[in-house]
Amino acid sequence: MMTLMTTPDLNMDQMRKAVGQATALLRVLANEDRLLLLCQLTQGEACVSELEELLGIHQPTLSQQLGILRTEEIVSTRREGKKIFYQASDSRAVSVLTTLYGLYCPAPTSRPRVTRSAS
C-alpha cells in the first residue's frame, strides 16, 4: 500500500510556485544525454574531453547539452588553462538524481567465484 503525503495547511500559491520549479527541473532531466551527464557529474567534476570519453556523447551534442545545464544553473564551471571543468551545483537536481538512481540503478551484485577442482 502506498503512503500518502501529509502536508498541514497546504498553501495553493506556494504549491503552484513549487510545481513550476519542479516541472522546469523535470524538463531539463527529461533528456537522456543531460541525464547521463548529470549522473556522471554527481560523481565529481569533469572536463568536456573526459565526459565525451566516459559517456560517448560527441560534439556538438555534448556542448549543447552542457550549455543548457549551465543556463539552467544546474551545473557550474571552472576554467583551468584551456580546459573547462563542469560540476553538478544544484542540490535539488542532485537529490532527484539520487532518488532516480535508487529506483532505476540496481546495486551491483558480486559474481560468484568459480572454483575448479583438481582432477
Long-range Cβ contact pairs of 54-59 (< 8 A, separation 24 or more) = 57/33
| pLDDT tens-digit series, residues 11-45 | 888 999 999 999 999 999 999 999 999 999 999 99
**CATH code reported for the domain at 28-103:** 1.10.10.10
* CA end-to-end distance (rounded Å), the chain: 54
Mean pLDDT value of segment 66-73: 97
Ranges of each domain in the chain = 28-103
Residue bearing the bigger pLDDT, 63 or 115: 63
Rounded percentage of the chain residues whose pLDDT exceeds 90: 75
The sign of the dihedral angle between the CA atoms of 98, 99, 105, 109 is positive
